[in-house]
Amino acid sequence: MLPFLESDFGNPSSIHSHGVKAAAGVKLARKRVAALLNCSPQEVYFSPCGTYANNVSILGRARFIEANDGGRHLITTAIEHPSVIGPSQHLESKGWRVTYLPVDKEGIIDLEQLKSAIAGDTSIISVMWANNEIGSLQPVELIADLAHEHGIFFHTDAVQVPGKLPIDVGRNAVSALSLSGHKFYAPKGIGILYLRGGENVMPIAFGGGQEMGIMPGTESVPNIIAIGKAAELARIEVAKAEKKLRDMQRIILDKLAPIEGLRITGPADIDKRLPGHVSIAISGAEGEALVIKCDLKGVSVSSGSACHKGIIEPSSVLRALRLPDSLARGSLRISAGQFNTREDCEKAADLIAQVAAKSVKTGGQTL
């Protein structure tokens, strides 16, 4: 990134030499992202973040459908990120019919239910690849095939996936896919929209013609350079990273699963989970209090239950699992990263086990 902050700081739309150098950097980054996804560089659009890529995929596709008098039925799931749920609710408020597919107790949709939800007016399906809160992986390739068979645009929020599992849009029939740089070690504030050649979305913001007019606004060149490099590393290292993350995930799961009053949320089968991801719920505990307790001991985790106006509210994802509130309020998410070690994971799991055991004994009161 540094040369693009210090010397090659031109605007890639400018035709002078500073601009030309910046444009060459952006071109290389686009090629690197295309290699990660196994697509053509022309199918890669840089976006300000994962949220924007999700919004354009749904709202931009909906604009295109409306302009062409297509059917106004969207199918998504009850456990999507707010950047998919929000646009879906917006379309609903504009008269679209939206089906929010339920998930089973492990957070996975039922393909038969998806099949029965598809109707003559279904024009968009959006199902996330991996859930950020409970780590569940959806059968994205099968969903893509089904959507393809029915000629339906299929978008997947794959923000959690790069660097942890291989992504190959050359092998699956996904129409659009969103990524976010900071999930694979690029800086925050840069994302990717993959849009299959021949598929159309219309812009949802208006400005210059950058990124074929789909993402107008001057490109964040240093961040684009960074996501290109991160994509290259993610592609080269994914097999090694997946193995390491699985190993660390097993260490944490093995230590936490036997604790009384603690439930693993999301899939029990590790192969159905995002590598490195562990999510739990502790009966009677309060998620945010658990996070602070762990933080004081140097372990950064997060919770899906947040305090709103003095009341601990489980997230919509945890609600979709139909967990009792007393359990869902005590949710915790632990994500091992590529730069963690087995020792980090053992230490973190021991600490969480201690905090959890104390919390179960006292109904969360000592926190």
**Residues that are catalytic:** 307
Given a contact cutoff of 8 angstroms between Cβ atoms, the answer to whether 318 and 331 are in contact is yes
Q: Does residue 8 interact with ligand PLP by CB under 6 A? A: no
**Residue from the set 57, 77, 83, 156 that interacts with ligand PLP by CB under 6 A:** 83
Q: What is the CA radius of gyration of the chain?
A: 21
Q: Of the listed pieces 23-31, 94-102, 152-160, 351-359, which binds ligand PLP according to CB under 6 A?
A: 152-160
Q: Of the listed pieces 117-125, 156-164, 224-232, 325-333, which binds ligand PLP according to CB under 6 A?
A: 156-164
83 versus 249: smaller Cβ distance to ligand PLP: 83
Phi, psi of 184, deg, nearest 5: -135, 40
Q: Of the listed pieces 43-51, 67-75, 86-94, 293-301, which binds ligand PLP according to CB under 6 A?
A: 43-51
Q: Does residue 87 interact with ligand PLP by CB under 6 A? A: no
**Residue from the set 8, 43, 157, 288 that interacts with ligand PLP by CB under 6 A:** 157
Given a contact cutoff of 8 angstroms between Cβ atoms, the answer to whether 155 and 126 are in contact is yes
Query: What is the pattern of x (binds ligand PLP, CB under 6 A) and - over residues 190-229?
Result: -x--------------------------------------
**Residue from the set 76, 88, 136, 160 that interacts with ligand PLP by CB under 6 A:** 160
Count CA atoms within 13 Å of residue 212 on its CB side: 14
Instruction: Write the CB contacts of 195 (distance below 8 Å, at least 6 apart in sequence).
Output: 43, 45, 57, 175, 176, 201, 214
Residue ranges of the alpha helices (H) in 257-364? 287-296, 316-320, 325-328, 342-362
132 versus 249: smaller Cβ distance to ligand PLP: 132
C-beta atoms surrounding 7 within 10 Å: 10
Nearest to 131 by CA among 256, 283, 318: 318
Binding residues for ligand PLP, rule: CB under 6 A, are 49-51, 54, 81, 83, 128, 132, 157, 159-160, 180, 191
